[in-house]
């Protein structure tokens, strides 16, 4: 293995598998749900098909990704994470939170996908917020994702949810500031930055349950008691 770092170190072994270009984003999308080759290609603009093929093969060989025959309605293949790959979730979420620390507003060329939105919601979930069971449908610009909270447990997905949502949130890039706690739910509605369909209280619960801090707010967020240990 010429790509191995030659160190008996978990981080070194992880870096060998995850350090290749596009690998983390492929895993991000698969961590939200199973995907076909085209789904991945569409959700990762810029990845050459050759690289996507190579990466999927490597991840399969590493035991992170599994290639399966698609369910009856479709034909072809679907890719999904193995149980070993699903163990990556805490690390993915931690990395995502770190990367979001300096991500206040999108660059002009930045896109948002359903999978990345779902991953952000998962990374920001506060199990301690103890919200009532609810299903949220979130539109951030062109991207759509859903989250279902129930008894401290969270389920997320890209696209619209199967069940009818309790609350629909329609926002633009301002959603980032809401998740960072920079913008209160009431203020967001008052200024027209976010539109909702559903009870106001559900929106308050959403804002409390999903928090992705910005670097400058780290200390204050912790002292307020919303911080992650």
Partner DNA sequence: CCGAATCCGGCATGATACTG
Partner DNA sequence: CAGTATCATGCCGGATTCGG
Q: Token digits for 210?
A: 């999903």
β-pair partners for 66: 80
Chosen residue from 9, 12, 53, 222 binding DNA by CB under 7 A: 53
Beta bridge partners of residue 67, listed in sequence order: 79
**Phi, psi dihedral angles at 28 (to 5 degrees):** -55, -50
125 touches 154 (CB < 8 A): yes
Considering only residues 47-86, where is the footprint of a copy of itself by CB under 8 A?
Answer: 63, 84
Q: Which H or E run includes 80?
A: strand 77-81
Least distance between DNA and beta carbon 111 (Å): 14
| Coil vs helix vs strand at 30 | helix
In sequence order, what are the beta bridge partners of 65? 81
> Cβ atoms within 10 A of the Cβ of 130, count?
12
Cβ(46)–Cβ(37) below 8 Å: no
Q: How far is the CB of 205 from DNA (least distance, A)?
A: 37
Q: Which of residues 131-150 bind a copy of itself (CB under 8 A)?
A: none
* Binding flags for DNA, 11-50, as an x/- string (CB under 7 A): ---------xxx-------------xxxx------xxxxx
Q: What minimum distance in Å lies between the beta carbon of 107 and a copy of itself? A: 8
Min dist. Cβ of residue 73 to a copy of itself (A): 29
Under the criterion CB under 7 A, does residue 66 sit at the interface with DNA?
no
Nearest approach, Cβ of residue 163 and a copy of itself (Å): 26
Pick the closer one to a copy of itself by CB: 92 or 147.
Answer: 92
- Under the binding rule (CB under 7 A), the answer on residue 73 touching DNA is no
Which partner in DNA, a copy of itself, none is near 90 (CB below 5 to 8 A by kind)?
A: a copy of itself
Of residues 87 and 187, the one with the C-beta less far from a copy of itself: 87
- CA-closest candidate to residue 169, choices 195, 204, 205: 195
Contacts of 57 (CB under 8 A, 6+ apart): none
Kindly state whether residue 184 participates in binding DNA, applying the rule CB under 7 A.
no
**First-to-last C-alpha distance (Å) of the chain:** 37
**Which pair of tokens denotes residue 30?**
């698969």
Coil, helix or strand for 90?
Answer: helix
Does residue 12 belong to the site contacting a copy of itself (CB under 8 A)? Answer: yes
Quick one: DSSP state of residue 35? B
Q: How many residues are given for the chain? A: 229
Q: Which of 160, 173, 198, 227 binds a copy of itself (CB under 8 A)?
A: 173
Residues that bind a copy of itself (CB under 8 A): 4-15, 17-25, 28, 44-46, 63, 84, 87-88, 90-92, 94-103, 106-107, 109-113, 116, 119-120, 123, 173, 176, 212, 215, 218, 228
Residues that bind DNA (CB under 7 A): 3, 20-22, 36-39, 46-51, 53-54, 56, 67, 70, 76-78
């Amino acid at each position: 293995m010429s790509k191995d770092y030659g160190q008996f170190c978990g981080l070194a072994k992880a870096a060998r598998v995850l350090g290749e270009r596009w690998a983390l984003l492929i895993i991000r999308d698969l961590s939200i749900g199973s995907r076909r080759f085209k789904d991945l290609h569409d959700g990762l603009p810029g990845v050459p098909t050759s690289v996507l093929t190579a990466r999927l093969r490597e991840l399969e060989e590493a035991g992170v990704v599994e290639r399966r025959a698609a369910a009856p309605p479709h034909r072809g293949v679907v890719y999904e994470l193995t149980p070993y790959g699903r163990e990556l979730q805490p690390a993915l979420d931690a990395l995502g939170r770190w990367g979001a620390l300096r991500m206040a507003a999108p660059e002009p060329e930045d896109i948002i996908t359903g999978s990345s939105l779902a991953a952000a919601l998962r990374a920001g979930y506060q199990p301690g917020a103890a919200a009532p069971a609810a299903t949220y449908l979130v539109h951030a610009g062109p991207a759509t994702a859903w989250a279902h909270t129930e008894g401290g447990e969270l389920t997320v997905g890209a696209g619209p949810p199967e069940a009818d949502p309790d609350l629909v949130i329609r926002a633009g890039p301002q959603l980032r500031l809401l998740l960072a706690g920079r913008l209160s739910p009431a203020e967001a509605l008052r200024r027209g930055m976010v539109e909702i369909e559903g009870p106001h209280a559900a929106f308050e619960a959403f804002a409390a349950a999903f928090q992705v801090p910005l670097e400058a707010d780290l200390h204050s967020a912790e002292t307020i008691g919303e911080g992650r240990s």
